């Protein structure tokens, strides 16, 4: 049996679905038609009435925790922080240095993923709620520190350090929460609950970021009291989380202490190499994902730079385009993408979904060439649609390849590679931007064009991988 088929049928969501699932124009039509009724479904979906009785209390506590903590996170959202840094430190720091800082801030989420191995190891055999509380406090303190950074080179360096610390600690919370969810919520409602919490978080961050931008346009000195107020409210999340209890935690911790030790951070490259070497098709999938993601991360920091340098937008309007609009659109498209993904193997899904990123990149390029802000507004909506599907695929894609016993290692491989491209892509993007600017060229169209070319290459790779895997499945079916 070929390696692609072995990887295909070894996972959980899983291989057989690849043979019968399909992505069609019907799915695209359902995606567009379903947008109309999405807001009402989102609001009704947050209520706890449909959950089993024993899951309602922990769910209610997590709703409050998510709600308040997201207020603090809105101050360090990648889109918000990139716009804040680019506009606040403009004139106080050398422009090329500022643009590199913006590049790192715009992709800080991806960069922090490299530390996922650290938190997996730190949480094994230890009380999860206590550790999550410690990390929550660390995030809040780091965000509060952002409010006191002066408008200078040292202040920008401090902003980078605090943002990285906050995002690193937040990645620890993200790593630990699935264990709590698995213990507290039955399988049949777990995805529903996680989806509800994700919707609440996205909407609060979107609204909080827009409000912060509006206040900064009125008076830049509002930044400190606004951020400190958000941090104060975020402490209620710590209280709500501390009241959570993990069901059968004593047995859970005992099994973790007696089981195989989780991978340490220094083992990450070795684990990645072993997984990719053992599964040829997953390695090809990761290559396509790396290329597509690299292109997407290239234009992420450039967007904040262009909105300031080319269009001279204020805080509020820039944050709307980089953060608020994509987040809101993403919330309403996630359920629609989920229906589609339920019917398709991840390779088939990515072979179509990836082009939504390419289409958004093409509109951004057209906007930069034509100096059209309207194109950037349209691209912001398109990015929200793409992120809706990307969020699901990012969390579930590895399951279609991994055997059940290897799921964590496959995900760890994916997360680590995501962190690597989060480190490299913005540096490449801004280096190219600054080099073209120094050469006297108009850098925005060229950099966006390069980003689009890389994204298209990733999309083409997914299409080619889909063809190969479908051919292998057809051959395997005939043999059976």
pLDDT computed for residue 168 by the predictor: 86
> Mean pLDDT throughout 19-36?
40
Q: With CA atoms as reference, report the closest residue to 318 among 254, 398, 380, 232.
A: 380
Return the CATH number of the domain spanning residue range 1-45+264-480: 1.20.1250.20
pLDDT confidence of residue 117: 66
pLDDT (0 to 100) of residue 260? 56
258 strand-pairing partners: none
What tokens appear for 171 in the block?
């990645």
The encoded tokens of residue 194 equal 């996680």
Assign 186 a pLDDT band (cuts: 50, 70, 90): confident
Structure confidence at residue 13 (pLDDT): 43
Please state, in angstroms and rounded to a whole number, the distance separating the CA atoms of residues 232 and 237.
10
Average pLDDT over residues 260-271: 64
Distance of CA 117 to the CA centre of its chain: 17
Task: Average the pLDDT over 336-345 and give the result.
Answer: 79
Q: How far apart are CA 338 and CA 16, in angstroms?
A: 18
- pTM equals 0.76
pLDDT for residue 44: 52
**Gap between the Cα atoms of 262 and 336, Å rounded:** 35
What's the CATH code, domain 46-262?
Answer: 1.20.1250.20
Domain with CATH 1.20.1250.20 in the chain: 1-45+264-480, 46-262
Of the candidates 428, 365, 422, the residue with the CA atom closest to the CA atom of residue 394: 422
Instruction: Band the pLDDT of 266: cuts 50, 70, 90.
Output: low
């Amino acid at each position: 049996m070929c390696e692609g088929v072995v990887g295909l049928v070894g996972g959980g969501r899983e291989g057989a679905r690849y043979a019968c699932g399909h992505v069609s124009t019907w799915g695209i039509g359902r995606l567009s038609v379903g947008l109309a009724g999405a807001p009402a479904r989102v609001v009704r979906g947050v209520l706890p009435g449909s959950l089993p009785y024993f899951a309602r209390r922990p769910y209610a506590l997590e709703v409050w925790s998510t709600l308040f903590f997201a207020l603090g996170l809105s101050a360090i959202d990648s889109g918000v922080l990139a716009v804040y840094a680019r506009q606040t430190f403009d004139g106080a720091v050398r422009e090329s240095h500022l643009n590199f800082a913006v590049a790192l801030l715009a992709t800080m989420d991806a960069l922090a993923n490299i530390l996922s191995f650290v938190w997996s190891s730190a949480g094994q055999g230890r009380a999860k709620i206590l550790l999550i509380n410690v990390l929550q406090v660390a995030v809040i303190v780091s965000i509060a520190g952002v409010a006191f950074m002066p408008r200078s080179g040292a202040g920008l360096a401090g902003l980078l350090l605090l943002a990285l610390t906050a995002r690193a600690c937040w990645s620890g919370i993200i790593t630990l929460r699935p264990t709590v969810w698995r213990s507290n919520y039955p399988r049949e409602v777990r995805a529903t609950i996680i989806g509800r919490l994700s919707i609440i978080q996205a909407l609060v961050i979107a609204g909080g970021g827009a409000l912060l931008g509006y206040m900064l346009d009125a008076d830049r000195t509002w930044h400190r009291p606004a951020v400190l107020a958000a941090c104060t409210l975020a402490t209620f999340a710590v209280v709500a989380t501390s009241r959570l209890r993990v069901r059968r935690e004593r047995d859970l911790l005992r099994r973790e202490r007696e089981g195989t030790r989780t991978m340490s951070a220094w083992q990450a490259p070795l684990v990645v190499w072993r997984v990719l070497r053992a599964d040829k098709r997953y390695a090809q999938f990761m290559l396509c994902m790396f290329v597509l993601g690299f292109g997407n991360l290239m234009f992420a920091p450039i967007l904040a730079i262009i909105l300031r340098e080319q269009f001279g937008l204020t805080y509020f309007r820039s944050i709307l385009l980089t953060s608020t609009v994509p987040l809101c659109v993403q919330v309403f498209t996630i359920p629609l993408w989920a229906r589609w993904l339920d019917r398709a193997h991840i390779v088939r899904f990515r072979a179509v979904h990836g082009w939504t990123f390419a289409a958004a990149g093409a509109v951004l390029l057209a906007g930069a060439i034509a100096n059209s802000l309207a194109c950037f507004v349209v691209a912001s909506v398109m990015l929200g649609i793409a992120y809706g599907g990307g969020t699901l695929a990012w969390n579930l894609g590895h399951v279609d390849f991994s055997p059940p016993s290897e799921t964590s290692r496959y995900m760890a491989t994916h997360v680590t590679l995501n962190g690597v491209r989060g480190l490299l892509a913005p540096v490449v993007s801004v280096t190219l931007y600054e080099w073209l600017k120094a050469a006297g060229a108009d850098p925005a169209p060229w950099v966006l064009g390069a980003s689009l070319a890389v994204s298209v290459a990733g999309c083409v790779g997914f299409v080619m991988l889909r063809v190969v895997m479908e051919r292998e499945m057809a051959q395997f079916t005939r043999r059976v």
